[in-house]
Amino acid sequence: MPPAAPPVERVRSAYASRSESDYIANFWTALGWSILTCGIYGLYVIYQLTRRSRDHNRRRLDLLEASTALAWERAQSSGKADQLRPQFERIGGHMNVLRGMLSDFRDPVIWTLICLLTGIGYLILYILLDQDLVKHDQAERAIEADLVAVYNELGADLPEPVGEAHVNHNYAARVVVLLVTFGIYGLWWQYNIMDDGNRHFETNWTWEDGLRHALGG
């Protein structure tokens, strides 16, 4: 097995690969093409929404793990490892949340087939994607906050996490509205999922840009 790349190189690699994982969805483009293709493009959208949720979590986990490993190296070399150990322990706990999400059943191909074969698949997937975003966002915000404190103590100025934290929607109310509107509300629900994910990515990019600058590019 080849030796692992240095943490700073892993940070740069995860930063550079965000265009591969962080798919920005455009609702109106998706709606237009779905109409023109009689719904076929809509299945591609489902595939992309599921894939980006899974792949974004993987990429962010790589970036945050590498950032933490680099901080630990610097803490040890500066003699501050014991002082900063509580922060690293908290980071480890939140990192386990992101690692645990890797084993969730989010295969984009299978979920696309489920949605193709059964209408309730859309409902279940929309709820799962929303819950995944909230869970992921809470864990990574906590990690970022502790990394900011650690790096500041080590002489590197990291930006504070930005943007509003994501919260769970009222799924029972959404299901009721979906039924009352004979499924039309599903369009708004899909727009909401796209927009929440887009804004989440853009918030992450702002913090990542600050991280890269603090680590010297």
Radius of gyration of the chain (CA): 19
Calpha distance 10→67 (Å, rounded): 8
Q: What is the pLDDT of residues 166-193, one digit of tens each?
A: 888 899 999 999 999 998 999 999 999 9
Predicted local distance difference test score (pLDDT) of residue 161: 85
The tokens describing 83, both together, are: 């002082």
Predicted local distance difference test score (pLDDT) of residue 104: 95
Q: What is the pLDDT of residues 201-214, one digit of tens each?
A: 999 999 999 999 88
Predicted local distance difference test score (pLDDT) of residue 149: 94
Calpha distance 87→91 (Å, rounded): 6
Is the distance from CB of 129 to CB of 193 less than 8 angstroms? yes
Containing 144, the helix (H) or strand (E) segment is helix 120-153
Predicted local distance difference test score (pLDDT) of residue 217: 60
Is the distance from CB of 63 to CB of 15 less than 8 angstroms? yes
Query: At which residue do the structure tokens 């929309």 appear?
Result: 126
Question: Phi-psi category of 118—alpha, beta or left, where left has phi over 0 and alpha has psi -120 to 50?
Answer: beta
For 211, phi then psi, to 5°, come to -65, -45
Containing 156, the helix (H) or strand (E) segment is none
Query: At which residue do the structure tokens 């804004």 appear?
Result: 199
Neighbours of 174 (CB within 10 A): 19
Predicted local distance difference test score (pLDDT) of residue 139: 96
Per-residue CA distances from 194 to 22, 24, 146, 186, 201 (Å): 11, 8, 29, 12, 11
Which residues in the chain show pLDDT less than 50? none
* Residue 192, C-beta contacts closer than 8 angstroms, at least 6 positions apart: 169
Neighbours of 103 (CB within 10 A): 7
